[in-house]
């Protein structure tokens, strides 16, 4: 259609230009020849030369005119192509893919088609840990593998920063299975980029026409819902759209939308749980725990929203808020100058891998004037699974800055003992799962005592988490544990209640339990 319009426009411009030039040439040249008063033979020769010259000049003019218009048309076509193409993978971008898929769906018999969304799950982590060049490499790498599975009528595009979208005519379940199995095998092997070596994983969400929807826009929405279900699947990260699951997912999406605005609306608040010394139960530090004060749902604990914050890219900004707000709250507490509790802050794996982590913490300490020796960073073993060597370097930097580190939730991982002798941490936090059986199970008492002795042999301080009963406290004190925290002493408290608790505890330390 566009080609036909261009041909008509070109023909019209050439015709008008030729007509105008010819009219002016003939009229003016005849007037010039008439003033010369030449003999008939010479006049005839001049007329012939005049015609030849006009043909030559007009041919050159038409050539340049056609050449110019053709170049303009080609530039317009190139610009249109670039506007529909993703520059990184050279696939169709979202708008180009939607345009092509709408046209393809209209041509399908009975409107049967399948939409597949493929998401690179750890792309934010890869970009944060190794730079955007690594993330770009993974996207191109995955795009090439998907291309190998394309049929002549399949349409592949890049939907957003971490996601591909695929249009398949009909309902080719076997082709989707082959694609999933191939990508699963690819993701099992580490990707090598320069000195870096890392893995990625993916998830696939699928919707079908006309079963789930009949328009590309609706099919995309339903495939996105299926993709969210695939991401939380414990084993196989592939899911077809299901209306029942969609209701739960839509509720989660609404929560995700609210979470994206929570920082702007100042809905996050800090609570603090005291950590007490053994023996004596004197306050040593407080653990800063973020809470979301949702305007309609009330107080939401972090286990509900932290993973969502990681998924939508809010975790780094939230982590900065947690550290800065915890320090400000702690420094404003109206407590005696002799009581100077330290601050413990948790870091997720995604935060720990972020390239600006060290600088962000350094800047926060500089701005607030908070002593680094009063800050403890708590991490779990899983934080180191992707890149243990880089993890050790970061911990050494913390140590050089004067910040202490603690290995949190110890006892829940399969490689805890190996990490104890490899990681430059100063504190070991024993998980509640090992503490709970203490009063009634002799093997548990032996295990906890052995862990405490092992930690002390490595010059590590030991904190027991989740203490709820006096019997647990007595066993831990007899075993030589250094510090404790839990509901037996205090639940996590807002800053206003924390100062009152500290004042009461300072006057009667044994009574706090």
Burial of 199 (0-12, 13-18, 19+ CB in 10 A): middle
The pLDDT value recorded for residue 47 is 67
| pLDDT (tens digit per residue) in 172-230 | 888 888 888 888 888 877 777 777 777 778 899 999 998 888 888 889 888 888 888 88
Name the helix (H) or strand (E) containing 376. Answer: strand 375-379
Tally of CA atoms within 13 A in the half-sphere of 60 that contains its CB: 5
Residue 243 has pLDDT above 80, yes or no: no
The pLDDT value recorded for residue 362 is 94
8, 272, 364 from 360: Cα distances, Å: 62, 22, 6
The pLDDT value recorded for residue 7 is 55
The pLDDT value recorded for residue 1 is 44
Would residue 359 be called left, alpha or beta, if left means φ above 0 and alpha means ψ between -120 and 50 degrees?
alpha
Residue 14 has pLDDT above 50, yes or no: yes
| pLDDT (tens digit per residue) in 387-402 | 778 888 899 999 999 9
- Three-state helix/strand/coil letters over 147-191: HCCCCCCCEEEEEECCEEEEEEECCCHHHHHHHHHHHHHHHCCCE
Between 326-335, 355-364, 386-395, the lowest mean confidence (pLDDT) is in 386-395
Mean pLDDT confidence for 375-395: 82
Task: Yes or no: say if 486 and 431 are a contact pair by the CB < 8 Å rule.
Answer: no
3 state SS of 405: strand
168, 207, 219, 247, 438 from 105: Cα distances, Å: 9, 13, 11, 27, 64
Beta-strand (E) ranges in 278-310?
283-294, 298-300
* CA–CA–CA angle 417, 400, 329 (5° rounding): 90
Name the helix (H) or strand (E) containing 21. Answer: helix 2-34
Q: Which two tokens stand for residue 437?
A: 């059986």
Task: Yes or no: say if 17 and 60 are a contact pair by the CB < 8 Å rule.
Answer: no
| pLDDT (tens digit per residue) in 25-75 | 666 666 666 666 667 676 666 666 766 676 776 677 767 766 666 665 555
- Beta-carbon contacts of 462 under 8 Å, excluding residues fewer than 6 positions away, are 427, 428, 429, 430, 451, 452, 455, 456, 480, 481, 482, 483
The pLDDT value recorded for residue 123 is 78
| pLDDT (tens digit per residue) in 103-147 | 999 888 788 899 999 988 777 777 776 777 888 888 888 888 888
Q: Which two tokens stand for residue 410?
A: 């110890």
| pLDDT (tens digit per residue) in 158-174 | 887 788 999 999 888 88
Q: Residue 439 carries which DSSP code?
A: T
Which residue would you say has higher pLDDT here, 303 or 83?
303
CATH entry, 256-505, from 3.30.565.10, 3.30.950.10, 1.10.3720.10, 3.20.20.450: 3.20.20.450
Task: Yes or no: say if 10 and 71 are a contact pair by the CB < 8 Å rule.
Answer: no
CATH superfamily for 94-241 is: Reverse transcriptase/Diguanylate cyclase domain (3.30.70.270)
The C-alpha R_g of the chain, in whole angstroms, comes to: 36
pLDDT tier for residue 268 given thresholds of 50, 70 and 90? very high
The residues spanned by each domain of the chain are 2-83, 94-241, 256-505
The span from the first CA to the last CA of the chain, in angstroms, equals 83
The pLDDT value recorded for residue 343 is 95
3 state SS of 263: coil
Task: Yes or no: say if 272 and 299 are a contact pair by the CB < 8 Å rule.
Answer: no
The pLDDT value recorded for residue 511 is 45
Tokens 């593998």 belong to 145
Whole-number average pLDDT of the chain: 81
| pLDDT (tens digit per residue) in 280-309 | 888 999 999 999 888 877 788 887 788 888
The pLDDT value recorded for residue 50 is 66
Sheet holding 163-169, edge to edge: 155-160, 163-169, 113-120, 202-209, 238-240
| pLDDT (tens digit per residue) in 429-459 | 988 878 877 666 677 788 888 888 888 988 8
Mean pLDDT confidence for 313-334: 91
The pLDDT value recorded for residue 336 is 74
Cut 0.75: pTM above it: no
Residue 478 has pLDDT above 80, yes or no: yes
- Beta-carbon contacts of 337 under 8 Å, excluding residues fewer than 6 positions away, are none
Strand 191-193 versus strand 196-198 pairing type: antiparallel
């Amino acid at each position: 259609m566009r080609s036909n319009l261009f041909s008509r426009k070109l023909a019209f411009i050439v015709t008008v230009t030729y007509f105008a030039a010819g009219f002016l040439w003939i009229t003016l040249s005849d007037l010039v020849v008439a003033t010369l008063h030449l003999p008939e033979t010479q006049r005839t020769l001049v007329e012939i030369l005049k015609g030849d010259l006009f043909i030559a000049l007009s041919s050159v003019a038409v050539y340049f005119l056609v050449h110019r218009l053709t170049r303009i048309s080609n530039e317009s076509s190139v610009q249109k192509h670039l506007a529909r193409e993703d520059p990184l993978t050279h696939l169709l971008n979202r708008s180009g893919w939607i345009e092509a898929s709408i046209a393809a769906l209209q041509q399908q018999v009975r409107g049967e088609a399948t939409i597949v969304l493929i998401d690179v799950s750890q792309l934010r982590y890869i970009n944060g840990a190794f730079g955007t060049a690594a993330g770009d490499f993974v996207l191109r790498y995955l795009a090439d593998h998907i291309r190998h599975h394309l049929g002549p009528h399949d349409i592949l595009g890049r939907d957003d920063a971490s996601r591909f979208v695929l249009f398949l005519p009909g309902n080719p379940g076997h082709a989707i299975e082959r694609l999933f199995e191939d990508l699963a095998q690819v993701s099992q092997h580490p990707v090598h980029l320069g000195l870096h070596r890392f893995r990625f994983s993916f998830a696939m969400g699928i919707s079908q026409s006309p079963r789930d929807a009949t328009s590309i826009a609706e099919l995309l929405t339903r495939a996105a819902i299926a993709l969210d279900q695939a991401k939380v699947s414990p084993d196989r990260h592939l899911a077809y759209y299901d209306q029942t699951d969609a209701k739960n997912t839509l509720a989660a999406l609404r929560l995700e939308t609210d979470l994206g605005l929570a920082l702007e609306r100042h809905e996050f608040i800090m609570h603090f749980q005291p950590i007490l010394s053994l023996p004596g139960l004197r306050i040593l530090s407080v653990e800063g725990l973020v809470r979301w004060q949702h305007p309609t749902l009330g107080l939401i604990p972090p286990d509900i929203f932290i993973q969502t914050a990681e998924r939508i890219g809010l975790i780094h900004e939230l982590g900065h808020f947690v550290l800065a707000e915890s320090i400000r709250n702690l420094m404003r507490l109206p407590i005696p100058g002799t009581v100077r509790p330290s601050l413990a802050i948790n870091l997720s794996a995604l935060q720990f891998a972020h390239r600006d982590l060290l600088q962000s913490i350094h800047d926060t300490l500089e701005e607030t004037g908070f002593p680094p020796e009063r800050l403890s960073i708590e991490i779990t073993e899983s934080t180191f699974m992707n890149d243990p060597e880089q993890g050790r370097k970061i911990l050494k930097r913390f140590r050089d800055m004067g910040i202490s580190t603690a290995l949190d939730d110890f006892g829940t991982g399969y490689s805890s003992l190996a990490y104890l002798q490899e990681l430059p941490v100063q504190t070991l936090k024993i998980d509640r799962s090992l503490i709970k059986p203490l009063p009634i199970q002799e093997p548990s008492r032996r295990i906890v005592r052995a862990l405490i002795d092992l930690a002390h042999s490595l010059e590590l301080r030991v904190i027991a988490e989740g203490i709820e009963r006096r019997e647990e406290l007595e066993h831990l004190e007899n075993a030589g544990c250094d510090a404790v925290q839990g509901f037996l002493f205090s639940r996590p408290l807002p800053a206003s209640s924390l100062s009152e608790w500290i004042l009461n505890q300072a006057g009667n330390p044994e009574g706090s339990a």
